[in-house]
Structure formats: structure tokens, C-alpha cells
Amino acid sequence: MHVVQDSAPHQPIAADSTHSRGATAVEAAQTEAGVIPIDAVVDEARGTTRGLALERAMRSATAPGAFRYLFRNAAGIPTGPQALAALDALADSMATEAPGPSESALPPILTYFGQFIDHDITANTDREVVGLSEIAGDIHPMDRGTVEAGLGNLRDGSLGLDSLYGDKPGQGPFATKLARLMRHPTLTDKMRLGMTADSGGGRPPLPADPAADLLRLGFLLDRGEITEAELNALDPALRANFVDSAGPIRTRAIIGDGRNDENLLVAQLHVAFLRLHNCFVDVLGDFDAARQATRFHYQWLVLHQYLPAICAGNVLDEVLATGAPLYAEFHDANRPADPDQLPMPLEFSVAGFRFGHSMVRGAYDHNRFFGTAVAGSAQLTPFATFQQLFEFTGNGRMPSPLTADPKTALPGNWVIEWERFVHAESPAHSARKIDTHLAPPLADLLNEPANPAVMKRLAQRNLRRGYRLNLPSGQAMAEAINATGLYRPIPILTPEQVREGREFLQAPGLDAATPAWFYVLREAELTGGNHLGPLGSHLVANTLVGLVVHDASSYWNARIGGHRWSPSLFRPAEPIDSLKAMLRFVGLLV
């Protein structure tokens, strides 16, 4: 399949080439229903909140859809210099390799699907909001009321894929223009994709067309759809995300959430969902119907593939059967004035859903060029390193694999081969276990600033942020869930189980009142590391199921012929009921 041109309106994938026509009257008249949030194109990887992003963050601090505590009155962890020193020692211990095999029975795609989900529903807990969330030095827990009043979620909380579509209202003229440019200029029902650059060494066979990259700023500049003068006229805080000392950042992805171009695996998953939308346009005929189908399938996959893979089965069964009553009580206690906004539990965002950090590998069998070779391919490295997966993104400036010259688009030999990520058939094709040990590259994060140094050490950053935001301890959360009587009682780890091999936790009492993030990882580790334990499962399942249940526009609340919507009702012969099926449908997997 060749790349779609404006004269070929019936092809399923919408990409641009240097031969495509410029913007047309159709494009100029296109509806502004899809609007990209300004914050979505503001780089959140640098740990700062500036300019317009800060203004919006502070506005949303009192909005009904902001972050709230699920267990507002539950006890926190011990405080003071001894406790803080023990947290840092705990972080150091997590940067060491676990004894025995580290591979799980989970395929690596789940690691990055989890990150994709996180970017869709939360933003702001990793920013340094002045006076609120600094985590370096001698810090102290914040008052919970102060945290709730000052920390706003820059997402609406729904699994609505605004990270894909950038379709939240109320943005300025440049953000509105970016949203329009995310749609194809002539095939206006489709989302724009980018073409890969010539690497001089070939590319994987799938997709059969060149639409395997994200839309990037350099392409729009070359077509005159954005000008340097326009970029230079932006507010300085916003301009810094598109222009640096060398000029326009030509590799910058024009997508609904810039964090999805921080590492190549999430960026390629974002490409897959853009292709899913475009394929649905061919089936359904228009943008709105394709967007709804994309959202419904995404939500269904979250609840019926992702959660069963990473949650304890008995916990998830209860949550699904009862419609996530723990989240329902939380929602009712923090009922939003705007039904399109959903409150987000801090215990989920800052602790429970960060379990995926332990699943990250230090290197991946990415494709035939940067992984296991196949006949006729020129293997360049045994595996793709963690560093390379950050370099071959817009933030990393896309260096050529053969020279130091940057490229505007992803080199063709870096296109992912998804069959290496969807099967956990060998150690090389598995995610790491969910446990209390992180892959070595996470101790020195390449895309984070060196000042403060804590931002580069993931375990230390997570533990200190939970401390600063005054999260309840893991034991207190488990006790609070048991006290509701909503579910079968869940076991609570003993101090001995928590501190095994980490005796320094005992003196400050962190083995009896444990940081929630570490507690979630430790109980998963004690179950074998292939899924979350009971507390982690409740935090993750209740939140994700609850967000779908309380979204009036979700698949959960849609009925077809009296039945709840499902992929089998949408496409009975070949339902898109797994990530593998989705990748096959969009031409990325055999």
C-alpha cells in the first residue's frame, strides 16, 4: 500500500508526503471540535511548570476534576530525617538487580500500553509546582488539603483518548491550529501520520505503507503550514517547546500529548492508535464515528485485556461484577460539577499505577536491525538500548544510526516489529517482573535534568514524591479497603514480609507503615511478580473500571440491541478484542 495522497481518498491510512498538496479551503473550513490542550504540547519531562501551563495548572487546582485522596483520613508513613534517609536507602536498594530471573510471563507491550493509558488520564503529578511538590533536599509531607487545593490534573480523567485527539475545548489560537493540523488536510476525517526517513539500510516489512511515524514539526514547516515567524511570536514558555538555540525543533511531534514521544515504544503505540482511527474511517465513513469506535475498543481493551493481565483475577472479577464501588464512593464524595471531568485518586496516580516502572527492560529486541536478525537483514546492534529508545524520538532529535546527523523523521530501520512485543514466549520477549527491583537505566534517567539530581533517579523520585504528597501507607490503604466491607477482606503484609533483606526499614517504622509504591511492588513480588497483589489490584482496577463506568459516553454505558457494546457486536467475524487483533487490523502484525 502506498502513502495516501489527496487524490486517493479510499485508502485506509492517511499520511503525508512531500508531494502532497498544501492546506485547502476544506481544511480552512474544518470544524474546530478537536482542540489540542496547550499543556499537551508543553514538554512535561523536565519537571517544571511554566507560563501558560502554570496558569492552567493553577486554574485547575480547584476544578472538580482534580486529584483527590481516595483515603483522605488514612495514616501516612513515618516522617522526619531518619525516615527520609531510609527512603533514600530504599531507593538505592531498588536500583540493584534482583536475585534469580527477572523476566515475567507478561509481554513487553503491556508495559507501554500502561504508560499510554497513564498519559491519557493523568498529567501534573511529576511537575514541580512551586511551593507544593518539590522533592529534593530536606522535605516534609504537605497538608493533604493543601495538596488537593494546589495540584490539578491536566487531563479530564476519562479514558477518552484526548491524548490521541487533543480534543479538549477552551484553548488558544495556536493550539486550535495544531489540532486542525493533526487532521489530514484533504482526507479530513483521518488523522495525519508521518513517513519514516530513509535510513540507508532498509526497514521492517510492516507496515506495507510508509505511514509509520508521527506527524512532526519539520514536515509542517517545509509545507509552510507553520512558519518560523509564527513560532517566534509565541509566548516564551510555549515557544521553548518548539524552538531552541539552534532554531525550530524539527523533530517535535504534533500529537495530543507530547509525553507519547518521549520514548520510541510509546511513540510507535501512538502510531498504531492513529492508524486504528484511520482504518475505522474506512469502515464507518466519518471522523466522529471512527473516534467513537477507537475509544470504545481502547476502553474495552483496558478493562478486558490489560487489567486481566496485570491484576489478581479474584480482585478484578469482584470489581467488574460490582461496577467498581470503591471508585463510585470516591466519585460521589468528589462529584464533579462538569460530568466530563472525573476525579483522580492520588493513591493511584502517585503510587498504584507506577508499578509499570518495574516492568521496564534495560534493552529490547526491537526489530531485525536492533535486535535478533532475520535472513537478509543487516543487524546493527544485538538489542535496542534504553538510551536509543529515547534518542529516536522528537525529544532525542532522531540521530541517524550511521552518522551524527539528525533527521526530521524516524529512520526507517527503527520502525518497531510488534511480533517481538506481543508474545512472552522467551526471556528476551518478556517484560520484567513486577517487583522491588528496577532496570539499571532507571537509576540515571536520560531525559531528566541533573538538577536536582533526584529527578534522574526514578526510585528516589517516586518515593520522595509520595512522601511529599503525604500519601497513606500501604497498610493503611489495605485496612481502609477492608473497612468499607465492599469486598472480601484482603491480606495485609507483615513487617517481616515488607523488610526482608532491607532491615534498615525497621528503625524508622517503614516496615509497618510502608510507602505505598514500594508496598504495591512488594506484595506483587511475593506473588511471583507476574501480576499485582491485592492492594495494587484494587487501586488499579477500581480506578480504571470506575473511570469507564462513570463516563456517560464510554462503551460501558452504550447499548446495542439491549446489550452492552463489545468488539464482537461491532465486528462479529473478526472482533478487535486484543492488542494483537488491533495490530493485525491496522497492518502492523501478521
User: 244: which strand partners?
Assistant: 247
Model's pTM, two decimal places? 0.89
- Is residue 44 domain-resident? no
Grid cell listed for 426: 522467551
Q: How far apart are CA 265 and CA 366, in angstroms?
A: 9
Grid cell listed for 285: 465513513
Q: How confident is the model at residue 167 (pLDDT cuts 50, 70, 90)?
A: confident
Is residue 303 over pLDDT 60? yes
- 47: amino acid identity, one letter: G
191 SS3 class: strand
Count of the separate structural domains present in the chain: 1
Report pLDDT digits (tens) over 20-42: 222 222 222 222 223 233 223 22
Q: What are phi and psi of 504, to 5 degrees?
A: -65, -10
Report pLDDT digits (tens) over 37-57: 322 322 222 232 222 332 232
Report pLDDT digits (tens) over 204-253: 999 999 999 999 999 999 999 999 999 999 999 889 999 999 999 999 99
Report pLDDT digits (tens) over 532-543: 999 999 999 999
- Is residue 385 domain-resident? yes
Is residue 513 over pLDDT 70? yes
CA angle, 366 then 353 then 301, to 5°: 65
Report pLDDT digits (tens) over 245-278: 999 999 999 999 999 999 999 999 999 999 999 9
- Is residue 140 domain-resident? yes
Q: How far apart are CA 71 and CA 471, in angstroms?
A: 9
Question: 278 to each of 12, 161, 271, 272, 314, how far by Cα in Å?
Answer: 6, 15, 11, 10, 37
Residues written for the chain: 590
159 in Cβ contact with 165 (< 8 Å): no
Q: What are phi and psi of 393, to 5 degrees?
A: -140, 175
> If we measure between CA atoms, which residue out of 76, 74, 90, 75 comes closest to residue 506?
90
- Is residue 7 domain-resident? no
307 in Cβ contact with 117 (< 8 Å): no
* E strands in 227-343: 243-244, 247-248
The mean pLDDT of the chain is 86
CA angle, 165 then 299 then 488, to 5°: 145
- Is residue 225 domain-resident? no
- Is residue 337 domain-resident? yes
Structural domain for 407, as ranges = 63-216+251-586
560 SS3 class: strand
The alpha-helical segments, DSSP class H, found in 323-376 are 325-333, 346-350
pLDDT confidence of residue 63: 42
- Is residue 445 domain-resident? yes
- Is residue 136 domain-resident? yes
Q: How far apart are CA 497 and CA 513, in angstroms?
A: 12
* E strands in 307-378: 344-345, 363-364
Residue 390: CATH number of its domain: 1.10.640
Q: How far apart are CA 538 and CA 174, in angstroms?
A: 41
